[in-house]
Structure 1
Amino acid sequence: MNGKDSKLDDLIANLPKELTPENDLWDKIEKRLDAPISLMTKRSSHNLWRNAAIACLLLITAFIGQKFFNPLLPLPEVDSALINTLAEIKAQHEIQIAQLQQTSKLVNWQSSPYSSPVETGIDQLREAAKQIYESLKRNPTDKQLWQLWLWAQHREIELLRQGQKLPVSQNSQGATI
């Protein structure tokens, strides 16, 4: 290794101490240094405006091209039969909920120590179902929205039934069984 290190040291020692360009660049540098500042800023501002104009032209061209080649399709008319079905399912669900709530008045499951998470879940499902229903009214042909809405309704009914099976606290007054 000693021989390789000394060879490397010799090569480094033989390198030139400074590099000179092939042609003299100082004349070009001097001309730029002597140029007035206002001329340089005019050129850069001219280039800036030119680039901005080109960008605007491209955006306008893209917008016109999009309108020409991909015109806005008329929105399909909302199928009134689907909207009616949607309203009927919602009404049936509300009837089922009312029946379950009537039963829950006989069994006071809200007095259970476990009722708070169930009530929170029911409230969250109702809010989600309401938002899904609004989306379905705007787009009644979306099968995934239908499935999600029906699932939320089914899950709400399940939670109400599970809430009725919760153990009831014996200390509550007015609990009827």
Structure 2
Amino acid sequence: MKPSEKQLSNMVSTLPQELSPQEELWGKIEGRLNAPLTETKHKWQHKHWSLLAIASVMVFAVLIGTRLSALSVTEVNISLLDTLTKIHLDHEKQLAHLEQVNRLVNWQSSPYSSPVETGIEQLRQAAKQIYQTLRQNPRDKQLWQLWLWTQHREIELLKQGQKLPVSQNSSGEII
């Protein structure tokens, strides 16, 4: 045996074989065993009702919170839809103004106009689809950004089309 193991075994052999409490506990234990069941049951029922009351208040608070948040979400959606409609109408006004200028310039007679017209038409179709989806989900920030980008790009292409060189042998109006 190693010296540390021998020392440990000596220490274990000197320990008492039984442990007893410093004071007598049996009297307290017996008093609890003989206590009437109604007192314990009454305490449990009181605790039960208080827990039930707390749970009821929490459920009530959650229901009120969901109702209020549903109302605020509806109000936010209505204001977003109003904003969406206003932006759409402003864009339509800008397009109408640019179309009026296009009739005067007649840039469609340019040999380079076909790709521009195709791009404008594709952007209009995409913007239309995005607008319909955005009306169903007005809280989607990425859709907003994409829709605004397509509108901006459409206006840019119309302005670029106005700067295209015009063929002089066209049958359109020349300014």
TM bin, normalised by shorter chain, reads: 0.5 to 0.7
Give the Cα separation in 2 of the matches to 1:175 and 1:112: 13
- Deviation string 1:110-169 (CA, Å, 9 cap, x unpaired) is 000000100000000000000000110011011100000000000000000000000000
1:163 counterpart letter in structure 2: G
Give the Cα separation in 2 of the matches to 1:169 and 1:175: 11
Give the Cα separation in 2 of the matches to 1:79 and 1:153: 22
Q: Which runs of 5+ in 1 are unaligned?
A: 1-72
1:106 to 104, 107, 122: 104
After TM superposition, list the pairs within 5 Å mapping 1:1-177 onto structure 2.
77=74, 79-177=77-175
Q: Which runs of 5+ in 2 are unaligned?
A: 1-65
Matched residues, percent identical? 68
Give the Cα separation in 1 of the matches to 2:78 and 2:146: 21
Deviation at 1:98, TM superposition (A): 0.3
Give the Cα separation in 2 of the matches to 1:101 and 1:83: 27
1:150 counterpart letter in structure 2: L
Deviation at 1:85, TM superposition (A): 0.4
Give the Cα separation in 1 of the matches to 2:173 and 2:167: 9
2:77 counterpart letter in structure 1: D
Give the Cα separation in 1 of the matches to 2:172 and 2:82: 42
Give the Cα separation in 2 of the matches to 1:174 and 1:90: 31
1:169 counterpart letter in structure 2: S
Deviation at 1:92, TM superposition (A): 0.1
Structure number with bigger Rg: 2
Give the SS at the match of 1:141: coil
Which stretch of structure 1 is more off in the superposition, 75-84 or 97-106?
75-84
Deviation at 1:174, TM superposition (A): 2.9
2:123 counterpart letter in structure 1: L
Deviation at 1:176, TM superposition (A): 1.9
Q: If the length of structure 1 is used for normalisation, what is the TM-score?
A: 0.56
Give the Cα separation in 1 of the matches to 2:111 and 2:173: 14
Q: If the length of structure 2 is used for normalisation, what is the TM-score?
A: 0.57
Q: Superposition RMSD on alpha carbons, in Å? A: 1.8
Give the SS at the match of 1:79: helix
Aligned residues: 105
